[in-house]
A = this chain, B = another copy of it.
Amino acid sequence: MYHQTKRKVHSLLHPEIVGDNHWDKAINIFIIILIILNVIGIMLETVDSIYLPHKKFFHDFDVFSVIIFTIEYILRVWSSNHDLRYQHKIHGRLRYMASPAALIDLFAILPFYIFLFLPAGIMTIGSDFRLLRILRLLRFFRLFRLTAYTKSTKLVLNVFKSRAHDLLLAFILTTFLVIITSCLVYFAEHDAQPEKFSSIPGTIYWAVTTLTTVGYGDIYPVTILGKIFTIAILFVGVALLALPAGIITSGFIDELRKTRKQKVCPHCGKPLTDHAEH
């Protein structure tokens, strides 16, 4: 009976192992919606015109969410040793609590309790607690678990994994170009605009926003040399930005081929393993 309940609780709380009955689905969807509402809530709290008139509502919703998430967390830890990886009664559960997923869950509710038990005097000190509250956003990361089991995620992950070295090289080349660009344009522009191109590290911000073609327009070259460098760098940059696109696209096409091949031979329609014999 005890173990059956635990098994039940365990499957209830793991949305990725979708149960067949409506009860499982309902709980999972409820948790997902609560997570999404929490994220929206945290974002809306920063809009004064919405937050100030509904301060109490936001607070109540936060209390309600934390209670639900705390219950969920306790049940998760309790039922964790149903999982074969965390089988031991105490060690298993502690190891589960140390897993990244469980830590995210814990940190997502922790700020609430810190605020609750800290003396009010300290709380008013203020702005540093803001960062603590942002920890609540960690709730959002739990949604990743949902997407983590779809076919598309596996495909995208496979593409990034199989192309990791090529993408790293593209990243290194871009870093090289960014640093070289920053140095050249710094020396071209520093005297003309000492405030905007104040230092090489400061120019890196300009170089990155230019090479990625964002181009805010808060910093731009005014000297002829600076403009010529910018033009030259943008031409190189276009080819360099085409690299990740090319790498990722060829990765997708490669994954596609693998999937197709595992199913049937493209020439006679038989499975590939049979085909090799004819």
Contact = CB atoms under 8 A, between A and B. Distances in A.
Interface of A: 39, 42-44, 46-48, 127, 130-131, 134, 137, 140, 143-144, 147, 150-153, 155-156, 159-160, 165-174, 176, 179-180, 182-183, 186-187, 190-191, 198-202, 204-205, 208-210, 212-218, 220, 227, 230-231, 234-235, 237-239, 241-254, 256, 261, 265-269, 275-276
9 contacts: A46-B200, A47-B202, A152-B165, A208-B235, A215-B217, A216-B220, A218-B220, A245-B245, A249-B253
B244 A239 contact: yes
A179 B267 CA distance: 46
Q: Which 9 A-B pairs have the closest CB atoms?
A: A217-B217, A214-B215, A250-B252, A246-B249, A246-B248, A46-B199, A152-B169, A43-B200, A216-B217
A238 B178 CA distance: 14
Given A179-B140, A201-B46, A267-B275, A246 B215 contact: no
Contacts of A140: 176, 179-180
A198 B46 CA distance: 8
| Copies held by the complex | 4
Nearest to A43: B200
A249 B256 contact: no
Contacts of A200: 42-44, 46-47
A202 B237 CA distance: 21
Contacts of A269: 276
Given A156-B243, A217-B217, A242-B244, 19 more contacts: A43-B183, A43-B199, A43-B201, A44-B200, A47-B201, A127-B191, A151-B165, A152-B168, A156-B166, A156-B170, A208-B235, A215-B215, A216-B216, A216-B217, A245-B248, A249-B249, A254-B256, A267-B276, A268-B275
Contacts of A171: 235
A276 B210 CA distance: 52
Contacts of A239: 160, 167, 244, 248
Contacts of A153: 169
